[in-house]
């Protein structure tokens, strides 16, 4: 297929473009003038056109002749920081422009895929979430201008899918890491918790703060923290490696079973600090402490990714251990291929 990728200069967009080319697609990328990180695309056979999502003419020109769309472009990190007005214009009005241009393609449009976010869910609640998050059941309660804008853009997409019978799919990304980023994940390290507890009051928080300060004096900032809630239950989180986000698009592209649906993209399963911290400490040769974080809303959630498996044969393969292992390999100068092993060449 001829595929347009917006946000192609970002880490997900660049990796997705590479995988699409390697599986036989023709790729065009829309490059925003404020975010021209194109070094990752230097050796790829992709067509690059410059333009902004906020300009309907730029979007129409980029969409001309395309058969599929991977709409990743958004006001998030690259090119930022963004004002609230810019966030709305890029994420909401920009998506409107994309949908209008896609509508004009008529029956030649074979698939429109929209990148959304797990920021639409309220995941951090007292006591954590006891049940897995299911994309068709979990209420959407976005907080913050980015999340609200993605919610509005999702509504636009689903509305066009219904009104225009557009072959459209929404992919909600879990927090996504790439390369060796997982090795420096802030919540794994002591400074994050020292900063968090510096703002908390009360005797429970004071006792925890003293414990953290004692650990800092003994081990320094490169100390890992096995985070537990007040009951002693390990923190639990569900994220995604960029490989598994790419795998979701490759699994879904052009499939009628994907049309009109929302899919959560994430790792094959969540990780707990109880399993991740000792493993990471062993790999990096770092000290770690085991702490009950009293007086703090815990991280405790996971996603049910069975819908993607059932309808798309989506098979994410990057658990926390593989993320850590490949992160260490990359930091050591070893090349790691982004293309999922199950990807097949297609037209």
How does pLDDT run across 94-126, given as a tens digit for each residue? 999 999 999 999 999 999 999 999 999 999 999
Query: What's the whole-model pTM score?
Result: 0.92
Task: Identify the pLDDT of residue 345.
Answer: 38
pLDDT for 164 beyond 50: yes
Any domain includes 8: yes
Task: Identify the pLDDT of residue 219.
Answer: 97
Give the number of C-alpha atoms closer than 13 A to the C-alpha of residue 164, restricted to the C-beta side. 21
Task: Identify the pLDDT of residue 37.
Answer: 72
What stretch of H or E contains 132?
none
Report the relative pairing of strands 111-117 and 168-173 from DSSP bridges. Answer: parallel
pLDDT for 211 beyond 90: yes
Any domain includes 224: no
pLDDT for 338 beyond 70: no
pLDDT for 341 beyond 70: no
Any domain includes 296: no
Any domain includes 288: no
Any domain includes 214: no
Any domain includes 346: no
How does pLDDT run across 90-102, given as a tens digit for each residue? 999 999 999 999 9
Any domain includes 199: no
Average pLDDT estimate for 208-225: 96
Task: Identify the pLDDT of residue 347.
Answer: 35
Q: What is the mean pLDDT of the chain?
A: 93
Task: Report the alpha-carbon angle 303-244-302, nearest 5.
Answer: 15
Q: CA 134, CA 263: separation in Å to the nearest integer?
A: 9
pLDDT for 234 beyond 60: yes
Residue carrying structure tokens 């292992």: 325
Q: CA 157, CA 142: separation in Å to the nearest integer?
A: 17
Any domain includes 335: no
- For position 6, which CATH number holds? 3.40.50.720
How does pLDDT run across 242-272, given as a tens digit for each residue? 999 999 999 999 999 999 999 999 999 999 9
Using pLDDT thresholds of 50, 70 and 90, give the confidence band for residue 334: confident
Residue numbers of the domain that contains 160: 2-178+238-267+302-318
Residue carrying structure tokens 């472009």: 73
How many structural domains does the chain have? 1
Using pLDDT thresholds of 50, 70 and 90, give the confidence band for residue 335: low
pLDDT for 78 beyond 90: no
Task: Report the alpha-carbon angle 223-229-235, nearest 5.
Answer: 65
pLDDT for 155 beyond 60: yes
Contact 221, 241 (CB under 8 A): no
Task: Identify the pLDDT of residue 79.
Answer: 63
Task: Identify the pLDDT of residue 307.
Answer: 98
How does pLDDT run across 25-38, given as a tens digit for each residue? 999 999 988 776 77
Q: Which tokens hold the place of 23?
A: 């599986």
């Amino acid at each position: 297929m001829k595929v347009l990728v917006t946000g192609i200069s970002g880490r997900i967009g660049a990796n997705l473009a590479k995988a699409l080319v390697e599986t036989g697609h023709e790729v065009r990328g829309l490059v925003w003038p404020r975010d021209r990180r194109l070094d990752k695309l230097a050796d790829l056979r992709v067509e690059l056109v410059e333009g902004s999502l906020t300009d309907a003419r730029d979007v129409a020109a980029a969409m001309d002749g395309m058969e599929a769309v991977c709409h990743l472009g958004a006001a998030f990190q690259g090119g930022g920081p963004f004002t609230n007005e810019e966030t709305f214009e890029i994420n909401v009005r920009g998506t409107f422009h994309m949908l209008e241009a896609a509508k004009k393609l008529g029956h030649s449009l074979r698939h429109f895929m929209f990148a959304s976010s797990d920021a639409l869910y309220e995941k951090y609640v007292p006591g954590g979430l006891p049940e897995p998050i299911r994309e068709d059941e979990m209420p959407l309660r976005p907080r913050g201008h980015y999340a609200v804008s993605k919610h509005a853009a999702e509504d636009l997409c689903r509305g066009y899918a219904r009104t225009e019978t557009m072959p459209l799919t929404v992919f909600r990304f879990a927090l996504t890491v790439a390369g060796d980023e997982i090795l420096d994940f802030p919540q794994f390290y002591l400074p994050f918790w020292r900063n968090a507890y510096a703002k908390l009051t009360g005797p429970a928080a004071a006792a925890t703060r003293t414990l953290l300060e004692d650990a800092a004096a003994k081990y320094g900032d490169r100390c890992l923290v096995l985070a537990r809630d007040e009951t002693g239950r390990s923190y639990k989180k569900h994220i995604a490696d960029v490989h598994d986000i790419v795998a979701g698009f490759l699994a879904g592209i052009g499939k009628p079973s994907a049309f009109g649906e929302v899919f959560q993209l994430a790792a094959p399963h969540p990780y707990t600090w109880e399993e991740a911290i000792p493993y990471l400490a062993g790999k990096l040769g770092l000290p770690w402490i085991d702490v009950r974080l009293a007086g703090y809303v815990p991280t405790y959630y996971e996603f049910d990714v069975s819908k993607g498996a059932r309808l798309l044969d989506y098979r994410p393969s990057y658990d926390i251990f593989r993320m850590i292992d490949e992160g260490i390999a990359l930091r050591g100068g070893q090349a790691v291929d982004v293309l999922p092993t199950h990807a097949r060449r297609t037209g």
